[in-house]
Amino acid sequence: VGLCTLGTCSPGHSGLLHTGRDCMGCAKTGSGKTAAFVLPILQKLSEDPYGIFCLVVTPTRELAYQIAEQFRVLGKPLGLKDCIIVGGMDMVAQALELSRKPHVVIATPGRLADHLRSSNTFSLRKIKFLVLDEADRLLEQGCTDFTKDLEVILGAVPATRQTLLFSATLTDTLNELKSLAMNKPFFWESQAEVRTVDELVQRYLLVPEKVKDAYLVHLIQTFQDEHEDWSIIIFTSTCKDCQILNMMLKQFNFPSVALHSMMKQKQRFAALAKFKSSVFKILIATDVASRGLDIPTVQVVINHNTPGLPKIYIHRVGRTARAGRHGLAITLVTQYDIHLVHAIEEQIKTKLQEFSVEERAVLSILTQVNVTRRECEIKLEATDFDEKKEINKRKQMILEGKDPDLEAKRKAELAKIKKKNKQFRARVQQTLQEKKQLQLKRKLQKKAWRQQRQAAKEEK
Ligand X SMILES: Nc1ncnc2c1ncn2[C@@H]1O[C@H](COP(=O)(O)OP(=O)(O)OP(=O)(O)O)[C@@H](O)[C@H]1O
Work out how close the CB of 29 gets to ligand X at its nearest, in angstroms, rounded to a whole number: 4
Does the footprint of ligand X cover residue 35 (CB under 6 A)?
A: yes
Strands 232-235 and 282-285 turn out to be: parallel
* Helices marked H in 256-386: 265-276, 310-317, 338-348, 359-381
Does the footprint of ligand X cover residue 13 (CB under 6 A)?
A: no
Does the footprint of ligand X cover residue 73 (CB under 6 A)?
A: no
Interface residue with ligand X among 213, 287, 294, 337 (CB under 6 A) is 294
Angstrom distance (rounded) from CA 106 to CA 56 = 5
Q: Are 139 and 173 in contact, with CB atoms under 8 Å apart? A: yes
Does the footprint of ligand X cover residue 34 (CB under 6 A)?
A: yes
Number of residues that bind ligand X (CB under 6 A): 17
Classified as helix, coil or strand, 56 is strand
Work out how close the CB of 281 gets to ligand X at its nearest, in angstroms, rounded to a whole number: 19
Angstrom distance (rounded) from CA 152 to CA 8 = 32
Angstrom distance (rounded) from CA 179 to CA 341 = 32
Radius of gyration for the alpha carbons in the chain, expressed in angstroms and rounded:
27
Nearer to ligand X, 219 or 312 (CB): 312
The DSSP bridge partners found for residue 26 are 167, 189
Angstrom distance (rounded) from CA 301 to CA 199 = 13
Work out how close the CB of 211 gets to ligand X at its nearest, in angstroms, rounded to a whole number: 31
DSSP, residue by residue, 124-155: -TT-SEEEEETHHHHH-BSSSB-HHHHHHHHH
Does the footprint of ligand X cover residue 33 (CB under 6 A)?
A: yes
Work out how close the CB of 182 gets to ligand X at its nearest, in angstroms, rounded to a whole number: 24
Strands 256-259 and 104-107 turn out to be: unpaired
Sheet strand arrangement including 200-206? 256-259, 282-285, 232-235, 300-303, 327-333, 200-206, 353-354
Does the footprint of ligand X cover residue 136 (CB under 6 A)?
A: no
Q: Are 182 and 319 in contact, with CB atoms under 8 Å apart? A: no
Q: What is the DSSP letter of 185?
A: P
Nearer to ligand X, 85 or 298 (CB): 298
- Contact range with ligand X by CB under 6 A, out of 289-297, 325-333, 336-344, 366-374: 289-297
Does the footprint of ligand X cover residue 236 (CB under 6 A)?
A: no
Angstrom distance (rounded) from CA 254 to CA 274 = 14
Work out how close the CB of 258 gets to ligand X at its nearest, in angstroms, rounded to a whole number: 21
DSSP, residue by residue, 379-392: HHHTTT--HHHHHH
Does the footprint of ligand X cover residue 41 (CB under 6 A)?
A: no
Interface residue with ligand X among 75, 102, 292, 327 (CB under 6 A) is 292
Work out how close the CB of 39 gets to ligand X at its nearest, in angstroms, rounded to a whole number: 9
Binding mask 307-326 for ligand X (x = CB under 6 A): -----------x---xx---
Work out how close the CB of 149 gets to ligand X at its nearest, in angstroms, rounded to a whole number: 21
Q: Are 218 and 362 in contact, with CB atoms under 8 Å apart? A: yes
Angstrom distance (rounded) from CA 457 to CA 92 = 77
DSSP, residue by residue, 337-356: GHHHHHHHHHHHT-PPEEPP
In which element (H, E) is residue 457 found?
helix 404-459
- Contact range with ligand X by CB under 6 A, out of 26-34, 345-353, 437-445, 447-455: 26-34
Does the footprint of ligand X cover residue 32 (CB under 6 A)?
A: yes
Angstrom distance (rounded) from CA 238 to CA 143 = 11
Does the footprint of ligand X cover residue 231 (CB under 6 A)?
A: no
Angstrom distance (rounded) from CA 352 to CA 364 = 27
Work out how close the CB of 37 gets to ligand X at its nearest, in angstroms, rounded to a whole number: 9
Nearer to ligand X, 323 or 414 (CB): 323
- Contact range with ligand X by CB under 6 A, out of 33-41, 80-88, 179-187, 343-351: 33-41
The DSSP bridge partners found for residue 301 are 233, 329
Binding mask 150-169 for ligand X (x = CB under 6 A): ------------------x-
Work out how close the CB of 314 gets to ligand X at its nearest, in angstroms, rounded to a whole number: 9
- Contact range with ligand X by CB under 6 A, out of 143-151, 209-217, 290-298, 433-441: 290-298
Does the footprint of ligand X cover residue 348 (CB under 6 A)?
A: no
- Contact range with ligand X by CB under 6 A, out of 16-24, 32-40, 357-365, 388-396: 32-40
Interface residue with ligand X among 26, 29, 75, 341 (CB under 6 A) is 29
Does the footprint of ligand X cover residue 7 (CB under 6 A)?
A: no
Report the interface residues with ligand X, using CB under 6 A. 1, 4, 27, 29-35, 168, 292, 294, 296, 318, 322-323
